[in-house]
Amino acid sequence: MNLPAFKILEDGEDVILIRDMSNVVIAPSITNAAEIVVEQIYGMGILGYKRLFYIDTMGGVDELLHNDRGVFMGFKYGFQSEDDFRKQWFNIKKG
């Protein structure tokens, strides 16, 4: 099985945002390989307690829930678009 393809767009203090690249290369989507994606990002040493969001191939932004040991715990559905995510996230950060 091919590994999922993603690109890290943001690696901030509290959040990581990645983009699903499965529409560019032959690879499973983040949605279909969420456990592997969380493990890979944890293996990079950047995950910790950060929230992990991803932009899917349709442009929506959802969250990959995980524990602090890199174990995928589920999905949290969220935003219609990257713009909506960025507006909401920065409003949350300011509040």
Instruction: Quick: pLDDT tens for 40-54.
Output: 999 999 999 999 999
Task: Give strand pairing partners of 11.
Answer: 16
State how far the Cα of 11 lies from the Cα of 29, in Å rounded to an integer. Answer: 20
State how far the Cα of 5 lies from the Cα of 75, in Å rounded to an integer. Answer: 18
Give mean pLDDT, residues 80-91: 85
Residues across the chain: 95
> Domain segments of the chain: what residues?
6-94
User: With bands split at pLDDT 50, 70 and 90, how would you rate the model's confidence at 78?
Assistant: confident
